[in-house]
Amino acid sequence: MTTKKERRIKIKTRIRGKVSGSAERPRMSVFRSNKQIYVQLIDDVAGRTLVSASSKGIEEGTKSEIAAKVGELVAKKAIEAGYTTVVFDRNGYLFHGRVKSLADGARNGGLKF
């Protein structure tokens, strides 16, 4: 019997075998804790974070609404830095709820994936 955390790490490993970011098309990695949500655009070739955003400081709204705002924020920062297309990495989380809201917010902000 595997725990929820072990299951997520197993799924994450499987995803990371297929998804990789580059300087032209960075990987958009999502981390979701119980209270906050974080997102980074990563260049896996150089091994560095290009753009990041989090829900710290955003307090009004439900968790899903806050995640959508974070998605729009990271899209704005990415476009300012010159990135328009990304590869989405849900990091082992199911694509619904806060993760989906963040992705939709990033799409509304102008990112393509």
CATH (domain of 12): 3.30.420.100
Convert the pLDDT of each residue in 36-76 to its tens digit.
Answer: 999 999 999 999 999 999 999 999 999 999 999 999 999 99
Integer Cα distance of 54 and 59 in angstroms: 12
- Beta-carbon-side half-sphere exposure of residue 73 (alpha carbons within 13 Å): 18
Convert the pLDDT of each residue in 69-107 to its tens digit.
Answer: 999 999 999 999 999 999 999 999 999 999 999 999 999
CB 105 within 8 A of CB 68: yes
- Structural domain boundaries enclosing 18: 4-109
Give me the pLDDT at residue 99, please: 97
Integer Cα distance of 68 and 13 in angstroms: 26
Number of domains in the chain: 1
Mean pLDDT score, 5-10: 94
Q: Answer yes or no: is pLDDT of 1 > 80.
A: no
DSSP β-ladder status, 27-32 and 87-89: parallel
pTM for the structure as a whole: 0.91
Q: 2 falls in which pLDDT band (50, 70, 90)?
A: confident
